[in-house]
Chain A
């Protein structure tokens, strides 16, 4: 009985810690978003029709191809991009100076903000994604 309640406490602690970590990551990610992304993708993540792709409600933003998201954030993007049946024409700025943790945090913010319900991204995932082609 005692060991069971200890187990519960342990699980509870894990949950609390992971939540608060996530909250911290999201706060850091939001800061990066505001200085680097907001000008084009807007405060509501809605982007600009025909120009800057929306991040809110965008299938590939919450999707599983993390390597592609990391690549776009790091290298920028200068092609007409097709997304959910529409096209966006503006060039995106590269962010080569962002660390793996920075990219993870901003991706976590983007993937869990507005109407997005994507999964959190860790720095380890970003690092792994960088080695993928």
Chain B
């Protein structure tokens, strides 16, 4: 048995070595950047968090083969590859966030709080505090992403359990409900106390509304405000073939990033953002014809991206390791599209948007590509062919950028040196 374990460990090390033999773990990066495969096949890694000592925590969508849904990874010999991996937790989920020694993690219904000790080990893995419970999770857009501000408040995304708030979801011809009843308890960001236990909807506050599904969010310490990335609606041409063709559907609507002030409304489901005319367009479910504008009371995006790419993580870079241009800019992990079919898919990369004084300062660009594992510039045609799908981002204590993926179950560590 012991021998078997040794052989197994050897095989794991061998696999990791072979994978790392690939230059930059198969990623394409700007000049001067290098990547290692920090971990592989750990399970469906959604979001990640890193302690000031460099210990990484990953939240898994499902428990992995070892039966754990939160994985702790440590790189003891500091070679860019995790060499001590363990975990705990039985509940799947997406959100994980670290504030001091407080480690927050989410299921699709609840927010839990764990305490870390001096060695960044979880004190009582089986008995976390329940901070928020009973949040709506109805299949679609059920994952809960979280971030904290500087005042101890936690912000939780509650995704809309619908595509466009139709009377019958994803049914051609079914009208949009007016007003959309989903927005009472989902389709927005809710704010809760970061320490108080057993909070329910009534204890929190709807901080922003009209957001279909936010998976990426981060508190920007420069602007002292929340930024979110929204997954735009699907299937304009499937349901309104007279208004949109497949090529238009592939580019509509834009994926959007918003700076959020308390009380903001981003317009879902009544409008979507058209990247060509750069305007909020009335949704066809609400009488729109593809041209009529709407959403006078709704905010405009801070940045917008090609449609359907699924921005699953947002991180403002505050480190000192990367060149000056990256300081305070935004990294976005794009999980990759499916609703551009029959056209080729897009995304499956990490993008960067430069920021200056809290505002975008230049066009977005692809920062890290090649996660799909396809050769050359081949586009992903079918999502299942993508080896890795970027899903989470975190900044290491040395300023390295970590990218998690929920398909292959890997974590990439991206570093810069002159």
Contacts and interface: CB of A to CB of B under 8 A. Distances in A.
Interface string A28-61: 0000001010111011101111111010000000
B237 to A, nearest CB: 8
B384 A47 contact: yes
B220 interface: no
B60 to A, nearest CB: 12
A47 B338 CA distance: 9
Contacts of A34: 342
Interface in A41-90: 42-44, 46-52, 54, 76, 78-80, 87, 89-90
A76 B170 contact: yes
Contacts of A51: 338
A44 B383 CA distance: 10
A28 B237 CA distance: 21
A94 interface: yes
B235 A39 contact: yes
A92 interface: yes
A93 B342 contact: no
Given A34-B342, A38-B341, A90 B385 contact: no
Q: How large is the interface on A (under 10, 10 to 19, 20 to 34, 35 or more residues)?
A: 20 to 34
B41 to A, nearest CB: 15
B163 A91 contact: yes
Given A52-B338, A79-B139, A91-B163, A42 B383 contact: yes
B248 interface: no
A78 B142 CA distance: 13
Given A48-B338, A76-B171, A91 B382 contact: no
Contacts of B142: 89
B382 A93 contact: no
A40 B238 CA distance: 10
Interface of A: 34, 36, 38-40, 42-44, 46-52, 54, 76, 78-80, 87, 89-94
14 contacts: A34-B342, A40-B339, A42-B383, A43-B341, A44-B381, A44-B382, A44-B384, A46-B383, A50-B44, A76-B170, A90-B139, A91-B139, A93-B172, A93-B238
